[in-house]
Chain A
Amino acid sequence: MPLDPSYLEYPHRSYGMDHDRYDWSMLVDRKPVAWPGGKRLALWVNVSLQYFPLNQQGKPFAPVGGMTTAYPDLRHYTLREYGNRVGIFRCLKAFDKYGVKPTFAVCGRVAERYPYLLNRLVERGDEIIAHGWHMDAPHYGGMDEGDEAMLMERTLDTLRAKTGQPVEGWLSPSKSQSARTPDLLVEHDVKYMCDWINDDMPYNFRTSAGDIVAMPLSTELEDRFIMQANLHSESEYADQVQDAFDYLYAEAAEQGGRMLALSIHPWMLGQPHRIGKLEQVLEYITGHDGVWTASAGEICAAWQSAQ
């Protein structure tokens, strides 16, 4: 039996994207962006502080970085907890040593479970963005709209109450969204989201409640992607980040400000044999005069004011 005739029909085959969320444009054709102080490259270090429940449901898909063995997967549960207990403090030292301003993407459950850690971050004054309720509570296509709104509210309410910050940034668990997620984010006063990895610069994204800024947080250059998913070595991680920096730094000289989005996980990079590589890349990057180390919200605001 042949396929249904509709399989050879292409209702969105026309100029631009096959949806109306954002305009089609090539990075090279956009107005050059000038960062504050005439800097060439904005360094955005996103540190994800995640909670992976032991009783993972994995619906409709297992979270990235989640449990993999039969219950109880003490191995992965504790390896992830290592990041919140130990790894994060090594990361903080590294940031302070090199004068790097991090942004923390925090799960609602981390804020609830570990007040010491949250207060520590709040006292530092660094920006905190929302990273969903926990890693096994994804936002996904087909989920009930009311359920999603409740999940988002619980996350944002918890983080806003416990940090005293407006919490205007959002990173979904596993970077997964439903068709409604961007609309709901704007309805809940979120100004930018980091899930769409289709660009190297921020861009404008339409929702039913007004625009939101898409701040692409590179997956391909993430510590977890390089060392856990691809099984590349620690040295390779450092090489790849440095190569990325060199490329973007040179491109910025010709095309206007660029952004280097480093997504790191204390449970991965905070291990004793890896932390030196974080220090190595931060030393390398901050050794360049044209680098602006800033929080995600500052980069987002600077990009908006340059439009």
Chain B
Amino acid sequence: MKEDPGLYDYWPYENRPKITWPNGARVAFWVAPNIEFYELDPAVNPHRKAWPRPVPDVNGYATRDYGNRVGHMRMMRTLDKYGVRGSISLSTALCDHHPEIIELCKERNWEFFSHGIYNTRYTYGMSEAQERAMIEDAIETIRKHTGQQCAGYLAPALTHSDITMDLFAEAGGIYTCDLFHDDQPTPVHVRSGKKFISVPYSLEMNDTIVYVVNKIEPRRYGEMIKANFDRLYAEGADNGVVMCVPLHGYQVSHPHRLKAFEEALEYITGHSDVWVTTGREIAEYYIENCYDEAVADIAAKGAA
């Protein structure tokens, strides 16, 4: 085990090269629906239990299943209303289980990126070959079912190895959502030396963290999203930033939660200098326009 993951260098938020998003936008805003499949009786990983109760854990399983049966459509229609295309963090086995959902998202030109095969299959304990096989399986599944080349990664159930980023970059990926160290994209070191970056995804704005871990009230979640946006929108006048709201159909789409979220979404998309976009578009734009300058600035600040 290492003291530091070695994925990025310290890089102070002040005095960075200016990022100017398309059309002079201050904030690149993206919404990342996690569309997940949890298995009722998954293969056992010796490093992490899938369910707190003995199989069948009806409570845990049904809670997640609600997202696909009920929640997805509500969330999708809400995003449609405000012109937001989702960037899907996808349990790629869902392409096989629930192709109807995949089709609906394809019709809307949403982005699909890898969130593993199932959210009940963890990276812990995998050999390099096994993790590579899992990553390649997910990328191939997305290609086969959607025609898209997978650009982004959010490790299944946020389980990583020391070489997760290396393997994903080698498989053709360009960005990760697994790092929460910044409000701007940053270069990420990978062993191949490829241009690979972190796109801010935000656990603080993630509805599961909000509702399950932090136990936040639904209306307060709406207020938090607006406050997060207000500050980033102000700072983005000086240097472009990224704001992401990660969602789950089994959290935000409950009938007592959607209204507050919708109000926040209406608020954000009602501002003029917002680039409503996807993870891939942010990553591609950054690598094309900002990456080299960032690397030089990080080196200069580190040397000083």
Contact = CB atoms under 8 A, between A and B. Distances in A.
Interface string A15-59: 111110000111111000000000000000000000000000000
Contacts of B58: 175-177, 195-196
A176 to B, nearest CB: 6
B66 A243 contact: no
Given A140-B54, A141-B53, A200-B70, A15 B63 contact: no
A9 B64 CA distance: 22
Given A7-B121, A10-B93, A229 B66 contact: no
Size bin of chain A's contact surface: 35 or more
Nearest to A178: B56
Contacts of A29: 100
Contact of A244 (B40, B99, B125, B254): B254
A7 B256 contact: no
Size bin of chain B's contact surface: 35 or more
Nearest to B44: A7
A167 interface: no
Contacts of B100: 26, 29
A78 interface: no
Contacts of A221: 254-256
A106 B130 CA distance: 50
B72 interface: yes
A153 B157 CA distance: 40
Contacts of B101: 26
Contacts of A13: 93, 96-97, 117
Given A10-B117, A142-B54, A198-B69, A2 B130 contact: yes
Contacts of A199: 66, 69-70
Interface string A209-234: 00000001011110000000111100
Interface string B47-60: 00000111111110
B129 A2 contact: yes
Interface in A50-100: 60-61
Given A13-B97, A17-B97, A230-B215, A7 B73 contact: no
Contacts of A2: 125-127, 129-130
B219 interface: yes
A197 B256 contact: no
B126 A197 contact: no
Contact of B39 (A16, A18, A241, A251): A18
B152 interface: no
B106 interface: no
B68 interface: yes
B228 interface: no
B158 interface: no
Interface string B25-40: 0000000000001011
Contact of A26 (B56, B73, B218, B259): B73
Contacts, number: 156
Contact of B55 (A7, A9, A179): A179
B97 A26 contact: no
The residue among B62, B74, B97, B255 with the most chain A CB atoms within 10 A of its own CB is: B255
Nearest to B251: A220
Given A18-B40, A219-B63, A10 B118 contact: yes
A45 B163 CA distance: 51
B224 interface: no
Contacts of B43: 4, 6-7, 9
A124 interface: no
A196 B58 CA distance: 6
B255 A243 contact: yes
Contacts of B68: 24, 26
Contact of B62 (A198, A239, A251): A198
B39 A12 contact: yes
Contacts of B46: 3
A248 interface: yes
Given A2-B126, A14-B97, A247 B256 contact: yes
Nearest to B63: A197
B255 A24 contact: no
A241 B99 CA distance: 33
Interface in A230-262: 230-232, 236, 239-241, 243-248, 251, 260
B66 A15 contact: no
A248 B125 contact: no
Interface in B4-27: none
B133 interface: yes
A177 B40 CA distance: 13
Contacts of A150: none
Nearest to A61: B53
A271 B129 CA distance: 58
Given A10-B117, A18-B97, A231 B56 contact: no
15 contacts: A10-B93, A10-B117, A13-B117, A16-B97, A26-B73, A29-B100, A142-B55, A195-B59, A196-B58, A198-B63, A221-B256, A231-B215, A232-B215, A236-B217, A240-B256
Closest 9 CB pairs of A and B: A141-B54, A2-B127, A244-B256, A198-B65, A198-B62, A247-B255, A244-B255, A230-B215, A240-B256
